[in-house]
Structure 1
Amino acid sequence: MIKIIAVLCSLSSPANCHEQIVTTSDFADISVQSCLMGAPQLAEWMNQHPAERLAAWRCVIGQQNGRGI
């Protein structure tokens, strides 16, 4: 499974950023290449969260490694 971890910043407070796993069932069959290119599902996810700005994202394959996410 590929997980997308996004760095999201609040539009009302741009310095207030956090990381969040944004992988949902919409991302179940996403490829590594699609993830690295900014999966179309990510844009749809952002449309559903208009109070935040996508500052960055990364793709993680498999289980989380315990780095605080």
Structure 2
Amino acid sequence: MIELLFVACMSGDPQSCRDRSMIFTNDIGLMGCMMGAQAQLAKWVQTHPGQSISGWKCRIAGAEGRAA
């Protein structure tokens, strides 16, 4: 599975951030994740008012590391 890992921060408190993720099936692949990530993150932000994205990356689900 492919994971879109991202960092979401409160707009009023940019120091208050959390790692979040979305999981995709293997048929999307890493390149598909990279190409579709911005659209998926824009949808996420629309449904989570008061939050913004400060960084993101696509990876194999379960891999170690932060989105930065």
Q: Same fold (TM over 0.5)?
A: yes
Show structure 2 runs of 5+ residues with no match.
none
CA 1:66 to 1:31, structure 2 compared with 1: closer, same or farther past 3 Å?
closer
User: Which residue does the alignment assign to 1:36?
Assistant: 34
Q: CA RMSD in A?
A: 2.4
TM-score (norm 2): 0.69
User: Which residue does the alignment assign to 2:51?
Assistant: 52
Higher strand proportion = 2
Higher helix proportion = 2
Distance in 2 of aligned mates of 1:48 and 1:67: 26
Distance in 2 of aligned mates of 1:11 and 1:49: 11
User: Which residue does the alignment assign to 2:18?
Assistant: 18
TM-score (norm 1): 0.68
CA 1:43 to 1:31, structure 2 compared with 1: closer, same or farther past 3 Å?
farther
